Amino acid sequence: MKPAWDKLMKNWNKGDRLKNTVIADVDCTTDAGKPLCEKVGVSGYPTIKWGDTSDLQDYSGGREYDDIKAFAKENIKPICSPANLDMCDEDKKKQIADIQAMSLEELSAKVDEKKAEIKKEEEHFDTEVKKLQETYSQLEKEKKEKIDAINAAGLGLMQSVQAHAKKTEAAATEKKEEL
């Protein structure tokens, strides 16, 4: 994916586009990149984030050059935000005005509350996935035990006798046809 991303950065970051948007990469494994990656929620590599720098979203599309180029052309542009109110419809402008009317303390508390809700959902998801993994492991173990029991009860011998009987029958049928 890196060659495709490097090509997109080279082709995108020039001319008028560079005035309002940028496509970049960060090495999250270095001391320089770790703090930013932690701040924006990067937990695996490679991860693509896009959008307003204060509200980056996860990208989940294709990883080939044409995929990310098409996504960039469609989505990477100035977006509605307090810094770009002219890009907002009336509903978004009202939402921004309502949020701006809050005190910084009140806004911080609301942001923390929403982040806590997300964390709670992620923890719930992780717990349920762990349960599914445990169920899967148990079902797989039970299946293996039952199949082993079926085989131990003579399935292999039955299949051997069945194959021999079919072979014997085919030989007898061939002999009758010769007569």
User: Which residues are CB-contacts of 146 (< 8 A; sequence separation ≥ 6)?
Assistant: none
pLDDT digit string (tens) for 18-51? 777 888 888 888 898 888 888 888 888 888 888 8
CA-to-CA distance for 14 and 12, rounded, in angstroms?
Answer: 6
pLDDT digit string (tens) for 121-173? 999 999 999 999 999 999 999 999 999 999 999 999 999 999 999 999 988 88
Q: What percent of the chain has pLDDT over 90?
A: 49
pTM: 0.56
CATH superfamily, region 2-78: Glutaredoxin (3.40.30.10)
pLDDT averaged over every residue in the chain: 89
